[in-house]
Amino acid sequence: MQSLILALCGMLLLGSTVAFLLYVSLLSIMTVVLIVVAVMFMFLFGVYVERQRRRVSEIPSETTLPQMQ
């Protein structure tokens, strides 16, 4: 009896999932997934660029720069 209830619960979960995917367009779900992946990629790319950035040891002053006329 317990395995029958477990099987029915599994079928109910599977049926609910299929009904949800039919009700909500697959295109809209993929659009949201693509946007989230793009945001994650941009964040990781920003972290990578920040780690590769060279630090400026000092600010150039007027004495070290050539005179501009």
- Mind listing the pLDDT tens digit for each residue in 22-39? 877 777 888 889 999 999
Question: Looking at residue 68, what is its pLDDT?
Answer: 61
Question: Looking at residue 59, what is its pLDDT?
Answer: 65
Give residue limits of the domains in the chain.
26-52
Q: How far is CA 25 from CA 17, 44, 48, in A?
A: 13, 29, 35
Q: How far is CA 53 from CA 8, 30, 38, 46, in A?
A: 57, 34, 22, 11
Q: Cα(21)–Cα(38) distance, rounded to whole angstroms?
A: 23
Confidence of residue 13 (pLDDT cuts 50, 70, 90): very high
